[in-house]
Chain A
Amino acid sequence: MNSSSTVLDIAQLHVAAVARQRFRQRVTMLLRDVSLSVQAGEVRALVGESGAGKSMIVRTVLDVAPVGVKILSGQINLLGLDWLKTRALERRAHLGKDIALIPQDPLTALNPVLRIGRQMGDLLAQHLPLDHNARRELMLQWLDAVQIREPMRVLEQYPHELSGGMRQRVLIAMAFSCKPQLILADEPTTALDVTVQREVLALLRQLQRQHQTAILFITHNLGIVAKLCDSATVLHSGMVLEQGSVAEIFSNANRHQAAAYTEALLAATPRYDRPGEMLTPVAPEVTTALRQKAAAFDKRYANEHRIQLAQAD
């Protein structure tokens, strides 16, 4: 696979939550004209505060959007397939194998009543044509690769018997185990202790380089963006504000309004080389302006496509 091929290409994606309100179908926009792409081997950050829509993008791509959430328009090109037009059965063949998810909270992400070995084994059995012994070998190899010290013991254990860091390593192992082309990482270190965070991030970087996996890395931590990622997409209110390489994002923070948010984010990030500096939170005018922009977008879109927006009660 040459390095210029695109693994994921989202084009003009509009996603909304649809609900019945006062006898009509009403729409709450969640993603507004989102376009982003990830190249093979690239590590792209998806940056934004909570509610910006980052998780929604991931869930839409993985076909696990919550009930009531619909794709209004747009295209998703994944692994060379027109993803939205692909049949569910075919999509399932790729999910977990060519595209995988590393979730945010390792505690709730593992089935509490099944052993680790069973959960990993099921995944491998679903996608790889290996027999029982080969699967077991592969699981042990991967647990070793994520620096788990007693892999054979861990296979027999239940999730609640492992520490948070170990659970996340298991999840990372599972994500990488079928050698996917793209991994979606949804804030994988947020739920971990700070010391463990660094180890896990280092591990991720190492595995990524080793297997040349493309990663879409959701985070609100700009420090991670700087250390780990090649490029970034900044999101707010379901809209893409700016995109580019990490160098561009960090240096161009002075230009126009969209970048004002990024600038504000950067200014709000504590910097270890300027420890005494006061933190300036993101100015409310910036977020208000962005929300107004979103509202204006919604009105235009609703008019154009003749749909009803949900009303705040």
Chain B
Amino acid sequence: MLTTLNPRIFFGCAVLLALVFTAVFAPWLAPHDPLTQDLLYGSLPPAWSVGGEPAYLFGTDTLGRDILSRLIFGAQPALIVAVAGAGLAAIIGVSLGLMAGFRGGWIDSSISRLVDVWMAFPAVLLSIVLVAILGAGLGSVVLAIAIIDWTRFCRVVRAETMQQAQLDYVVSARTIGFTGFQTLTREVLPNLWPLILTLFTLEMGIAIVVEAILSFVGLSVSSDMPTWGSLIRDGRLYVNQIPWLLGLPVLAIAITVLGLNALGDGLREALDPSVRV
């Protein structure tokens, strides 16, 4: 598969690596502590414009906290939410999808019906209501993402499983005496990993956006630990005075989403060249 390395995968991987790197090494990368307030230096413009300080490259927010540092530290919740949220959604969706696709019958129809009804709800509204019920915090956000978007995994995995179940190797597995569960996990699932991986990368992008939206609405982490969404919320309020407070996180999220999407699309293309996205 390395020979099919196309520019999308390359770009996507680069973005993903940058995100991980930033999140892991945030304490060393960030010039300041993201929580330290310095009211003397509040609402500073970026270092290159009039009134800016070289110490605060992109300026500070109203409480004197360095914007760039907050952005860098914001990569941490972003990554956590992306991986955990997408992961949980994957676990739920893949399990149900496997069951529906393998068993068929009433299990399939009930799960399919559930998926249809679930997908009819508007995601934004649902997530907001959910987190309002569950209470603020990163855990709720992760749970909300999984609850809303597991259907994405379920549908695709179900379709693939149904196809795979017709193939010979599955039948022969049954004849050796594998139980259904063993067949699923040892024979079918390994064939689905590439597909699941593709969906996972796409889901990560979605998770980051959902977290940003929830932060924006005030329903994510409640401490003043920075998330990109909370930066956007403050930035929106003070967009006329400190535009970079909005601009940086928007850029960060946009690049991350584009990168993860490119990775997902690139992987999908590499898996099935007949599908030209």
**Direct A–B touching, Cβ under 8 Å:** no
What is A's interface to B at a CB cutoff of 8 Å? none
What is B's interface to A at a CB cutoff of 8 Å? none
